[in-house]
Amino acid sequence: MSLNLERNSKWMEGSGPQADIVISSRIRLARNLKGMPFPNLMNEAQEVKVIRQVGQAIRAPGVFQAVGELRLQTLRELSPVERQILVEKHLISPDLAEGKGEKAVVLRDDEAISIMVNEEDHLRLQCLLPALMLHEAWRLADAADDALENELDFAFDQERGYLTACPTNVGTGLRASTMLHLPALVLTKQAGQVLTALTKVGVAVRGLYGEGTEAQGNIFQVSNQITLGRSEEEIINNLSAVTVRLADQEREARELLRKQNRWQLEDRVGRAYGILTNARILSSQEALQLLSDVRLGVEMKILRGLDQRLINQLMVRIQPAYLQFTAGKEMTPFERDVRRAAMVRELLAG
């Protein structure tokens, strides 16, 4: 398969419900094959077998009819930089990219569907869409899951549901998450309070790259904690409601900022834009923070003539692996900082 790593993923489109605050929506389904140990206990022959079975299943006519063409790529055939780009685009986990053994990823052309093969579970089917489209992502994941289930025997138990390597995923195997940009809640120092409150309603909050990471660029990921005892619709409805509520809270905080600190706000946005369009050296952390300010400016219509899509693309393009890939060579951190600044200047200048 020719992996076109430079293309934009569907989630970067930047349009859809609540797109001013919600960047993307993801559904993940954990599935395992019957009669096969989970990946942590598999030997190489078994790993290859799982990849082969998944490879055959995705070529079945029923799968094509349900979700279109899916293509499988073994990770062994990818360079470390190429693997890292898949992480930066949120298509695979760092664990899959770094893991030893035989692993693979299945992708649809628009990257709205990806399946990690031999991560913690045999299959981790993911659907990633822009803005708040959890229900749409669920419909797509459900259709892909149904079609795959025709070809593969999934481990399922009437009481416990889908059986997974970790009991925190058993049942639906569903992890639904949304990525939100919450700069005003951070600026008005409400973020900690609001996000702590969320954990009381069965929602977990994490940084941009999942478990154990910090919220870079004021981007937070919220997801359901419980996977057993509730239906998929209930889980998704709950997370959607929480996401809408969070977005409302963020909008209120933005209006407060506009009323009480209008000049400081516009100054901050303007300075961020100024630095991004003029800097000669930019670290990825600084770039993400400034992009967060510019994004806020775009969303609050302080900055005109820029769109979210460009900012979503920039968020991926400033990442180390993506930069090196488009440069066609490995670079030192300093070389990357120089190239990052040049690329951001060029793209923002249009």
Partner 1 sequence: MLCERCQERPASVHVTRIINGDKTELYLCQECAREMQPQLNFSIPKFLAGLLDYEPGLEVKAPPAGERCRECGLSYEQFHQTGRLGCPDCYHYLAARLDPLIRRIQGSSQHRGKVPRRAGGNLRVRREIERLRAQLQQLVEQEEFEKAAQVRDRIRDLENRLGEQGGGQ
Q: What residues are designated binding site?
A: 24-28, 90, 124, 175-179, 206-211
Between 173 and 183, name the residue whose CB sits nearer to partner 1.
173
User: From the CB of 148, what's the least distance to partner 1, in Å?
Assistant: 10
Between 109 and 233, name the residue whose CB sits nearer to partner 1.
233
Which residues have CB under 8 Å from 15's CB, separation 6+? Answer: 130, 131, 308, 309
Binding site for ATP, by residue number, is 24-28, 90, 124, 175-179, 206-211
CA distance 326 to 322: 6
Interacting residues toward partner 1 by CB under 8 A: 32, 34-38, 40-41, 120, 142, 145-146, 149-150, 153-163, 165-168, 170-172, 174, 212, 226-232, 234-235
Between 32 and 73, name the residue whose CB sits nearer to partner 1.
32
- Tell me, what DSSP letter sits at residue 207? B
User: From the CB of 282, what's the least distance to partner 1, in Å?
Assistant: 24
| Cβ–Cβ under 8 Å, residues 208 and 219 | yes
Taken in order 103, 155, 160, 230, the sign of the CA dihedral is positive
Between 8 and 216, name the residue whose CB sits nearer to partner 1.
216
User: From the CB of 168, what's the least distance to partner 1, in Å?
Assistant: 6
Does residue 321 sit in helix, strand or coil? helix
CA distance 71 to 175: 23
Closest CA to 208 of 191, 220, 196, 224: 220
318 — phi, psi (to 5°)? -80, -5
Which residues have CB under 8 Å from 44's CB, separation 6+? Answer: 101, 102
- Tell me, what DSSP letter sits at residue 266? H
Between 56 and 231, name the residue whose CB sits nearer to partner 1.
231
Between 40 and 56, name the residue whose CB sits nearer to partner 1.
40
User: From the CB of 221, what's the least distance to partner 1, in Å?
Assistant: 17
CA distance 292 to 296: 6
User: From the CB of 273, what's the least distance to partner 1, in Å?
Assistant: 32
Give alpha helix (H) positions in 188-317: 191-198, 232-260, 262-278, 284-299, 308-317
CA distance 89 to 119: 17
User: From the CB of 287, what's the least distance to partner 1, in Å?
Assistant: 24
Between 171 and 183, name the residue whose CB sits nearer to partner 1.
171
253-258, long-range: CB < 8 A, 24+ apart: 253/184, 253/185, 253/187, 253/188, 253/190, 254/184, 254/296, 254/299, 254/300, 256/184, 256/188, 257/184, 257/187, 257/188, 258/300
User: From the CB of 227, what's the least distance to partner 1, in Å?
Assistant: 7
